[in-house]
Chains A and B, each alone.
Chain A
Amino acid sequence: MAPRAAARLQAMGFREIHEYKAGKLDWLAAGLPTEGANSQLPRASAAARKDVPTCGPDERLGDVRARSEAARWDAAVVVDESDVVLGLLRAMELAKGDDLRVAEAMRPGPSTFRPYVPIKEMADYMVEHKLESAPVTTSDGKLVGLLLRSEAVDLASGCEDCARKMISVAE
Chain B
Amino acid sequence: MATLIDREQLQQMVDSGAQLIEVLPANEYAEDHLPGAVSHPLRQLEKESGQIDRNRPVIVYCWDAA
Contacts and interface: CB of A to CB of B under 8 A. Distances in A.
Contact of A23 (B29, B42, B64): B64
A164 B49 contact: no
Nearest to A162: B31
A7 B45 CA distance: 11
Interface residues of B, number: 43
Nearest to A13: B54
A34 B63 contact: no
B32 interface: yes
Contacts of A6: 1-2, 60
Nearest to B23: A5
A9 B64 contact: no
B53 to A, nearest CB: 9
B60 A17 contact: yes
Contacts of A38: 31-32
Interface stretch (A24-32, A62-70, A77-85, A89-97): A24-32
Given A18-B4, A18-B9, A20-B6, 14 more contacts: A3-B2, A7-B2, A12-B46, A14-B54, A18-B13, A18-B18, A18-B58, A20-B59, A21-B6, A24-B64, A26-B7, A30-B7, A38-B31, A162-B31
Interface of A: 1-10, 12-28, 30, 32-39, 162-164
Interface of B: 1-7, 9-10, 13, 18, 21-24, 28-37, 40, 42, 45-46, 49, 52, 54, 56-66
17 contacts: A5-B42, A10-B1, A12-B49, A15-B54, A17-B60, A18-B57, A20-B5, A20-B10, A20-B59, A20-B60, A22-B7, A23-B62, A24-B32, A24-B34, A24-B62, A24-B64, A37-B31
